[in-house]
Amino acid sequence: MKTVLIVLLAVALLAALWLLSLRGKRKKRGFFGLEKWHYAHRGLHGDGVPENSLQAFHLAVQNGYGAELDVHLSRDGRLVVMHDESLKRTAGVGRNIADCTAAELEQMRLEGTAQKIPYLEEVLPVFAGKAPLVIELKPTGGNHAALSKAVCAMLDGYPTLQFCIESFDPRVLLWLKKHRPDIVRGQLSCNFLRERSGLHLPLALLLTELSMNFLTVPHFVAYKFADRGRLSLRVCKRLWGVQEFSWTITDERDAKTAMQDGSILIFEHCRPRF
């Protein structure tokens, strides 16, 4: 009997620790001011319009959408708007952004068009006072603090801009929590157990199950729509009341499903409406 009681107490303790590990900021009505928008994934791209291009961002605003974009640091400290660390897929150059200077990047063009790789300071005026942004930080080589600090300093110059910051890297969220707790921060995630992305198994498990939340205490979780059945995500939403963003929505059926469940949409290749 004593052994059974000890086992039950151990199970209860582990369950309580698991629930605590999913902790986040409880959403409040009107807290975001972001829930009234859908967000074009890397701008409104396609049909010859490159992703994460100024053209794609202008089109998002013109069509009544916010946008999601990605930011890296160049070798000389410029804030570069690009999804991949490598320039191969989008610019046809076999180099990484972190190894390039601004002068080198300015010579490149996106997807064979005349569109150049934009800097964050070129994108922010497109949205300031018009539509909000979901800004993903993509640190490399341990530059999470430098990237976070540089982005926040630039955002301070745009008081009319609505935005939030997200990252797959919990270190970015920890930096924001400590230095800029006023900024809405979100944990990006997906099923890393299926798509390892070079992660070691323990870290893949922690990120998949949102088990770093107790440290980062995110205001929202942006989870891959195809993986949204994870129990940890459902518990995080229902127990802690954390807002969910769904990425990347690609058709009206998934958009409707996500909205019915209270998610904010990050979309591409479709035009969702409320």
Q: What is the pLDDT of residues 104-157, one digit of tens each?
A: 999 999 999 999 999 999 999 999 999 999 999 999 999 999 999 999 999 999
- Are 114 and 200 in the same domain? no
At 32, the pLDDT band (50, 70, 90 cuts) reads confident
Q: Which pTM does this prediction carry?
A: 0.95
Q: Which of 168, 192, 214 is the last residue of a domain?
A: 168
- Are 188 and 261 in the same domain? yes
Per-residue burial over 154-185, b = 16 or more CB atoms within 10 Å of its CB, e = otherwise: ebeebeebbbbbbbbbbbbbbbbbeebeebbb
What 3-state DSSP class applies to 46? strand
Q: Is residue 40 part of a domain?
A: no
Q: Is residue 12 part of a domain?
A: no
Q: Is residue 267 part of a domain?
A: yes
Count up the domains in the chain and report the number.
2
Q: Is residue 238 part of a domain?
A: yes
- Are 163 and 70 in the same domain? yes
How many Å apart are CA 223 and CA 20, to the nearest integer? Answer: 19
Query: What pLDDT sits at residue 10?
Result: 67
- Are 146 and 188 in the same domain? no
Q: Which of 109, 137, 168 is the last residue of a domain?
A: 168
What is the average per-residue pLDDT within 82-105? 97
Q: Is residue 174 part of a domain?
A: no
195-213 pLDDT, tens digit per residue, is 878 889 999 999 999 999 9
Query: What pLDDT sits at residue 8?
Result: 67
How many Å apart are CA 85 and CA 98, to the nearest integer? Answer: 8
User: By residue range, what is the domain housing residue 95?
Assistant: 47-168
Q: Which of 168, 193, 213 is the last residue of a domain?
A: 168
Q: Which residues contact 210 (CB under 8 A, 6 or more apart)?
A: 21, 22, 187, 189, 221, 232, 233, 236
- Are 64 and 116 in the same domain? yes
